[in-house]
Copies of this chain bind each other. A is one copy, B any other.
Amino acid sequence: MYQLLDGKKISSEIKIELAAMVSKGKSEGGKTPHLAAVLVGNDGGSETYVNHKVKACEEIGFESTLLRYSDDISEDELLKVVDELNNNDQIDGFIVQLPLPKHISVDKVIEAIRPEKDVDGFHPLNYGRMASNLPAYVSATPNGIMELLKRYHIPTKGKHCVVVGRSHIVGAPVSILMARPDYPGNCTVTICNRYTDDLAKQTLQADILIVAVGSPGLITKEMVKEGAVVIDVGTTRVPDANKKSGFALKGDVIFEEVAPKTSYITPVPGGVGPMTIASLMWNTWLASRKIIFS
């Protein structure tokens, strides 16, 4: 019988731990962690994400600041906002919610963020430090996956981890983390992409299968080894008349048929998704205590 990797439960636990740490910190006269979020434009998804982050701050007892700009803000103006946040001692960490309007270079904005405040872990310096196994802010989704593996004590050393998808946000960093000489890590790691010849041949080798493509139903039971650990990062909105919202979130894995073959599997929703916000909160805590960049 398989076990669920319950991201909802674990993320609640992490938030409770953080709340206790904040409360203890306050009683000792420590600084209250303060996260700022920059939101450009009116993208519905972005708005929802940012609201969740602000709400998580409230739950935990962090301070938060939401800065909103219309989508005609110029790149220079946005870079000025970043610079002000860089130099504002009250703000421990901040994020610029992606995507940005097309006239703004995401790379330029991300690299303008002081790495010490880059709690999203998107700055190349944090990425490079992570890859070099140096202290770093690891970005939310990869970090959340590592935390899930840790909290369920999933053995990783010597295991074959197959990662499907190579995005900068999930697939690529997760493949780097799982190969590191650390726990979770020390895996033989295979990273697949759209050009991979015979994907099933690769996924069938996986002791740990991490799928981050955004293609609902990609992974069938024929593609998964008996007893594998399966982590489904996909969350695609598909129309669903039975839901009040009119849509359902679908993972990349066909849960119903794959789950019985696995030892552990994440549900969608309620798996990796909730872990990402917990990771961001954790990074904000680290920033407030200057633990990564001392």
Contacts and interface: CB of A to CB of B under 8 A. Distances in A.
Interface of A: 107, 123-134, 136, 157-158, 160, 166, 168, 172, 175-176, 179-181, 186-193, 195-197, 202
Contacts of A193: 179, 181, 186, 188
A168 to B, nearest CB: 6
Nearest to A173: B131
How would you classify the secondary structure of chain A's contact residues: helix, strand, loop or mixed? mixed
A190 to B, nearest CB: 4
Given A124-B134, A127-B132, A188-B195, 4 more contacts: A127-B127, A128-B131, A131-B176, A175-B189
B134 A128 contact: no
Question: Nearest 9 CB-CB pairs, A to B?
Answer: A128-B128, A124-B128, A127-B128, A158-B195, A190-B190, A188-B196, A124-B129, A125-B125, A179-B191
A180 to B, nearest CB: 8
A61 B259 CA distance: 64
Contacts of A175: 179, 189, 191
A107 B128 contact: no
Contact of A192 (B132, B172, B188): B188
B168 A172 contact: no
A180 B176 CA distance: 13
Nearest to A125: B125
Nearest to A160: B197
A189 B186 contact: no
B195 A166 contact: no
B157 A195 contact: yes
B128 A168 contact: no
A192 to B, nearest CB: 5
Contacts of A158: 195-197
Contact of A131 (B107, B131, B197): B131
A129 B115 CA distance: 13
Contacts of A190: 188-191
Given A195-B158, A196-B158, A168 B124 contact: no
Nearest to A195: B158
Contacts of A134: 107, 124
Nearest to A158: B195
A42 to B, nearest CB: 28
16 contacts: A107-B132, A107-B134, A123-B128, A128-B128, A131-B131, A132-B168, A133-B168, A175-B179, A175-B189, A186-B193, A188-B192, A188-B195, A188-B196, A188-B202, A189-B191, A190-B191
Contact of A197 (B124, B136, B188, B189): B188
Name which of A133, A175, A179, A196 has the most chain B CB atoms within 10 A of its CB.
A179
Contacts of A130: 128
A131 B195 CA distance: 19
